[in-house]
A and B are shown apart, each in its own frame.
Chain A
Amino acid sequence: MSIRGKAFIAGAFEHPLREIPDRSTHQVVAEVALGALADAGLSLSDVDGYFCDASLGFGPLSMVDYLGIHPTHVDSTETGGSSYVVHVGHAAEAIAAGSCSVALVAMAGRPRSTAMRRPTVDEPTPDAVFESLWGMSGAVNGYALAATRHMHEFGTTSAQLAEVKVAASLHAQHNPNAFLPKPVTVEEVLDSPMISSPLHRQDCCVVTDGGGAVVVVSPEVARQLGRTSVKVLGHGETVKHADNGRIDLTYTGAVVSGPRAFEEAGVTPADIDYASIYDSFTITVIETIEDLGFCAKGEGGRFVSDGALVAPDGRLPFNTDGGGLCNNHPSNRGGMTKIIEAVRQLRGEAHEAVQVPDCTIALAHGTGGSIGTRMGSATLILGTADA
C-alpha cells in the first residue's frame, strides 16, 4: 500500500520561544498542539490520532490524558530526532488504513532550562557499557568520529563543513525567532573553539527549549478546510547501527530511507525544489545529501562549497529557517522543525528572502541517536496539492 496522496499536512506550528524556564514541558506540547490545530482550522475534539516520542512519560498515555483527546490510533515510535518524520509517515499510513482521520504529531523539550534528561530504563542497553567508558561527552564526539573518517576517505575539508553553517546563517538572518540570527563566514566558523576535532563550536547545532507540531489529515478532511494543505507523497525509515562491530561512519541511514521515500513519491532528487536536511552538525548535512542522492558519495564537501545550499538560487536550497545550526533544535531533536519549514516552503510562506520560487516538491529528512553508533533515519517527501 502506498501512502502517496492519501494524507495531507493541514496545520503546522513552531513554538516562537527558544528559552522557556517557567512552563512545564507538557504545557509547551499543548501550546504547539493547539497552535498547529488552529493553523489547520481544527480543534482538539477533532483529533483521533496521536503521535509522540517517548520522552514525556508512559508512551502516549500521559499526554493524551493531559491534552484531553480520545484517539483511535496512537504511536509513540521513539527514534530520537527523526521520530517526527517517522510519525508523519506512520500517520499517513494510519489514515490510509482508515484508523484515524486527524492525526496530531506534537513534541517539545526544554534542554536549555532543565538538565538533559533521557527516558529512564530498568536495565542499561547491552551496547551502553562498551560506549560509555571513553569520555563521550554528548553527541558531538560521535559525529566528530564520522567527520574524521569522511575527511580521510574523501578529502572533505573543515572549510567545506563550514559552508553548511554559513548557508544556514544566511537564512537565519531573516528569521526573527532564530536563536543565532547573525550571518557568519567560513573563517569565523574555523576560528570558533575546537570542541571535538575536526568539529568546531560553530559546526554544532544550537541547544534550545521549544517545540513544534503538525496535523496530518485525510483528503476528505483537507478538502473541508480553508487552509492550504501539503500533500504527503512518500516516506522511508530505517535504523542504521554498529552492524556487529563493522560500523562504517561514511554513510547514514538515509541510504535506505531516501530511496524508499523517492520511490513511493514517484520522484527523483532532481525533482526536489527545497530540502530540510537534519543538521545536528555540519557533517550530518554533508553525509545526508550524499546518501539522498543529491551528489555522489564523497562529493558532499565539494557540492556545498559554491553556495549550493543557499536559498533561493542555490542548486539545493536547504533549511531556510536557519535550521538546527542557527534557528532552533528543540529538545535536542530537529525533526519537527525540518517538517515545519518544508510546509512553509510548499505553502509559499517562508520568508520572502528565502522563499524558493514555484516550490512544488520538498523533502524533510530526520536523524536521531548518533551517526557514531546507531541512528534513526527518516525521509519524507511532500508536495503542493496538485503535485
Chain B
Amino acid sequence: MSAPLPVPTPAVSAEAEEFWAATAEGRLLLRRCDDCGTVIWYPRAHCPACGSQRTSWTQASGKGTVYTFTVVHRSMLEGFRDALPYVIAYVELEEGPRVLTNVVDCDPASVEVGMPVSVVFHDTGTGRALFRFRPA
C-alpha cells in the first residue's frame, strides 16, 4: 500500500496571491479578461489573447475532463517516491483551460482520456490548498 500523495506548499507570487488564498476556502479561481472575455491560465494580470490589463477573478465550476495523463512508476522526488504509482494529468476545465494536476481517489489503472473529473482541495496547512481532481 503506497503512501498518500504529499501536499507541497506552493511558492506564491503577488500576481497569484488571491488564487491561492481562495484554495483555502475550497474555491478554484480563474482570471478572465474584462475586454475580450478570454479565460486566462495560468493566472496573470494581463490578457495574453488581447493584451488588455483589465482582468478579474471568476470562480470556476471545478468540473472538467482528462485531456491526457501519465501513471508515474519511478520518481526521484521525496514524498512522491513513497506514493507510487500516482497520476499526473492535464485536466481540461469546463471554462477552457487545460491545467496540470493530479487525479486522485481512484485506481491509477482506471484513468482514461476524456474521463469526467471534479476538483478536490488538499490542505497544505499553510493557508493554501492544492487543487487536484477525482472521478466525477
Contacts and interface: CB of A to CB of B under 8 A. Distances in A.
B99 A245 contact: yes
B3 to A, nearest CB: 12
A29 interface: no
B13 A129 contact: yes
Given A149-B67, A196-B70, A245-B97, A134 B102 contact: yes
Given A245-B99, A249-B68, A141 B40 contact: no
Given A133-B10, A195-B73, 20 more contacts: A124-B13, A126-B44, A129-B10, A135-B5, A138-B76, A141-B70, A141-B88, A145-B69, A145-B70, A145-B88, A146-B68, A148-B68, A149-B68, A194-B71, A195-B72, A199-B70, A245-B99, A246-B98, A247-B98, A249-B90
B69 A135 contact: no
9 contacts: A124-B11, A137-B74, A145-B70, A145-B90, A147-B70, A196-B72, A244-B49, A245-B39, A245-B98
Nearest to A136: B88
A43 B54 CA distance: 56
Contacts of A196: 70-74, 88
Contacts of A58: none
B105 to A, nearest CB: 15
A130 to B, nearest CB: 4
A152 B74 contact: no
Given A196-B74, A244-B41, A145 B68 contact: yes
A193 interface: yes
Interface residues of B, number: 44
Interface string A237-256: 00000101111010000000
Contacts of B11: 124, 128-129
A144 interface: yes
Interface string B104-116: 0000000001100
B56 interface: no
B120 to A, nearest CB: 14
A373 B42 CA distance: 12
Contacts of B68: 145-146, 148-149, 152, 249
A244 B76 CA distance: 29
Contacts of B37: none
A135 B10 contact: no
A152 B83 contact: no
Given A130-B100, A244-B48, A245-B96, A148 B86 contact: no
Contacts of B16: 126, 129
Interface of B: 5-6, 8, 10-13, 15-16, 38-42, 44, 48-49, 67-77, 80, 83, 86, 88-90, 96-102, 113-114, 130
B116 to A, nearest CB: 16
B38 to A, nearest CB: 7
Contacts of B102: 134-135
Contact of B74 (A145, A193, A245): A193
B86 to A, nearest CB: 6
A197 interface: yes
B90 A135 contact: no
A352 interface: no
A135 B77 contact: yes
Nearest to A241: B48
A148 B113 contact: yes
Interface string A130-168: 111111111001001111110010000000000000000
B97 to A, nearest CB: 3
A127 interface: yes
Contacts of A133: 8, 10, 130
A319 B95 CA distance: 42
Contact of B13 (A126, A135, A247): A126
Contacts of A194: 71, 73
B68 to A, nearest CB: 4
Residue among B11, B15, B83 facing the most chain A CB atoms (10 A cut-off): B11
A141 B86 CA distance: 11
A137 B75 contact: yes
B113 A127 contact: no
B90 A130 contact: no
Contacts of A198: 70
Residue among B8, B74, B76 facing the most chain A CB atoms (10 A cut-off): B74
Residue among B6, B72, B114 facing the most chain A CB atoms (10 A cut-off): B72
Contacts of A247: 90, 98
A244 B97 contact: yes
Contacts of B49: 244
A197 B87 CA distance: 9
A130 B42 contact: yes
